[in-house]
Chain A
Amino acid sequence: MPVRKAISTANKQLMTLTPETLPRHELNGLPVRVVESTDASRVGLEGRVVIETTNTLSVEIREGGDTRVVTVPKSGSVFEFAITDDAADAAKASGTTSKLADTQPDSSTADESDRAGDDIASCRGDGPTDHRHAAGENVAYVTVDGSRLLSRPARRTETNGDSPWQ
């Protein structure tokens, strides 16, 4: 605990869930939408990520009263994650939000997904589109190509090289 405390106070700029850190951050629990998929029947699925494996995300979809869980492969899919309030504020502070859009997410994703397809290597710049609701709550939508998330869930966070001699 003392070590952890020291580290957390040392770099006080919080590494919160921002569009940059999202591919390394926890995906479970985030609202997600499948923007593109090799299987057309999966396009447009909307729900929350409940289980992540190396190659798949399981999305829990609410339909009226009942829920169902759909497993979506990461490779061959493009996901749009919604980051809410405090995270979106942090994104704004770090200057990542490229524009303010007053459109509904449905209408904005058509061009957004095209750009994400062109530039898979950088999720930043293409992805983050800040979106303001009339209620005043902040939601940032981040579009990430599924192939960027291919990793064991626990190891996605690590930034070290892949040298076996550590």
Chain B
Amino acid sequence: MDVAAERIDRLEELARAATIDGDDERAKYYVQLARRIAERNRLEFPRSFERFTCDRCDAYLRPGDNARVRLQNGHVVISCDCGAHARYPYDE
């Protein structure tokens, strides 16, 4: 694992910790920095990070805190507090 991938993992932890502390702006800064590192180094964003960040406002999402997770037929909908929805399928 190279430095860039490791930085992304560290930033995920930092973003989560910042959100738990209620510091959403700082969490957004960490998410944006991680996205930038991923695109500069042509790395795939880790799935856990991809699924729990908002594509519209870059917030780190914690279900029950600033995100809502609902199951529709065949897919999961994660809604951010900003109003954006993200969907991904699940297998029964």
How many of A's residues come within 8 Å of B, CB to CB? 23
Nearest Cβ on chain B to A1's Cβ, whole angstroms: 5
> Which of B13, B30, B44 is close to A4, meaning CB atoms less than 8 Å apart?
B44
Main secondary structure of the interface of A (DSSP, over half): loop
Taking the complex as formed, is B4 at the interface, i.e. its CB lies under 8 A from any CB of chain A? yes
Residues of B near A158 (CB, < 8 A) are 40-41
Find out whether the CB atom of B3 lies under 8 angstroms from the CB atom of A28: no
Find out whether the CB atom of B37 lies under 8 angstroms from the CB atom of A157: yes
Taking the complex as formed, is B10 at the interface, i.e. its CB lies under 8 A from any CB of chain A? yes
Find out whether the CB atom of B2 lies under 8 angstroms from the CB atom of A153: no
Taking the complex as formed, is B76 at the interface, i.e. its CB lies under 8 A from any CB of chain A? no
CA distance in complex: A6, B14 (Å) = 26
Nearest Cβ on chain B to A16's Cβ, whole angstroms: 7
Interface residues of A (CB under 8 A from B): 1, 3-4, 7-8, 11, 14-17, 21, 24-26, 28-29, 50-51, 153-155, 157-158
